Amino acid sequence: MWAETFATNVTGVFLTVQALLPNLRAAGAARIAIISSQMASHTHASGGSYIYRASKAAALNLGRNLAADLAPEGIAVGIYHPGWVRTDMGGEAAEISVDEAAEGLIARFAALGPQSTGCFQTWDGHDHPY
């Protein structure tokens, strides 16, 4: 489960960015959005869910490092917590709908630029502690 989860949440993200990087560079002021989770934050280290938490922390770290490396090229990278969403994973008790999460994330992606590269934000625009 460790390898499968990291392959999806970290390696897949990195390989996608790597594959698209020539196009992103050609586009000029490009943006990359990475979905992590509040469970990646040290402020939410309440135990349990080790595989998921570790993979999302790695995705957060990957995004922060990509932001540092790509900033000189004008490519902004944002890392986002989508919220506790009513899905198969989040369950019926989750706080927000898929539509609410999507609308919030789209707004965050649209606002991403050189001044906010490396940000870790929630779906509704709050800065999230690392």
Look at residue 130 and tell me if it is in a domain.
Answer: no
Task: Look at residue 129 and tell me if it is in a domain.
Answer: no
Report the domain count for the chain. 1
Say what the pLDDT of residue 31 is.
97
SS3 content of the chain, % helix, strand, coil (to 5): 55, 15, 30
Q: What is the pTM of this model?
A: 0.91
Which CATH number do you get for residue 69?
3.40.50.720
pLDDT at 17 (0 to 100) = 98
80 is annotated as an active-site residue = no
Q: Which domain holds residue 9?
A: 2-122
pLDDT-flagged residues of the chain (< 50): none
| Per annotation, catalytic residue among 50, 52, 80, 130 | 52
Cα angle 53, 126, 91 (rounded to 5 degrees) comes to 50
Q: Alpha carbon 114 to chain centroid distance?
A: 16
Cβ 48 vs Cβ 91: under 8 Å? no
